[in-house]
Structure 1
Amino acid sequence: MTTPFDFLKLTHADDWRSYTEHRFVRELAAGTLPEAVFRHYLKQDYLFLIQFARAWGLAVYKSRDLSEIRQGLDNLKAIVDVELGLHVGYCASWGIAEADLAQLAESKATLAYTRYVLDAGMSGDLLDLHVALAPCIIGYGEIASWINQQAFTRHDGNPYGEWIDMYAGDEYQGLVASETQWLNERLAEVDASRLQRLSTVFRDATRLEADFWQMGLDLS
Structure 2
Amino acid sequence: MSPAPTTDASATDATATDATGRLSLWLRDRSEPDWSAVVAHRFTGELIAGSVADDVMRRYLIQDHRFVDGFVALLGAAIAAADRFETRIPLTRFAAMVTSDENDYFLRAFDALGVTEATRRDTPDHAATTTFQALMTEARLTADYPCCLAVLVVAEWSYLTWAARADGRLPDRFEHAEWITLHDNPFFRDFVGWLVSELDRVGPTLNDDARARVEDLFRRAVAAERAFFDAAYQDNRD
TM-score range, shorter chain: 0.7 to 0.9
Counterpart residue type for residue 219 of structure 2: R
Aligned partner (choices 115, 118, 140) of residue 137 of structure 2: 118
Two-structure CA RMSD over aligned residues (Å) = 2.6
Do residues 29 (structure 1) and 48 (structure 2) align? yes
Say if 2:75 and 2:91, in contact at 8 Å, map to a contact too: yes
Residues 155-207 of structure 1: per-residue CA shift (max 9 Å, x gap): 45466233223322222212211211211111233245532332221111100
Counterpart in 2 of 1:53?
A: 72
Q: Following TM superposition, by how much is the alpha carbon of 1:104 offset from its aligned partner in structure 2, in angstroms? A: 4.8
Within a 5 Å distance, the mapping from 1:84-103 to structure 2 comes to: 84-98=103-117, 100-101=119-120
How much has 1:217 moved relative to structure 2?
0.7
Supply the distance in 1 between the matched residues of 2:29 and 2:65 (Cα, whole angstroms). Answer: 30
What are the ranges of 5 or more consecutive residues in structure 1 without an aligned counterpart?
none
Query: Is the aligned partner of 1:187 residue 2:214?
Result: no
**Which of residues 205, 208, 213 is equivalent to 2:224?**
208
**2:102 aligned partner:** 83
1:167 aligned residue: 183
Deviation at 1:139, TM superposition (A): 0.8
User: Contact between 2:50 and 2:171, CA under 8 Å: does it hold in 1?
Assistant: no
- Normalised by the length of structure 1, the TM-score is 0.84
8 Å CA contact retained: 1:133, 1:205:
no
Aligned positions, number: 216
Extract unaligned runs of 5+ from structure 2: 1-14, 17-21
Share of identical aligned residues, percent? 20
The whole-number CA distance in structure 2 between the counterparts of 1:216 and 1:68 is 34
Change over 3 Å in CA distance of 1:45–1:192 after alignment to 2 = same
CA distance in 2, matches of 1:67, 1:99: 42
TM-score, normalised to structure 2, is: 0.78
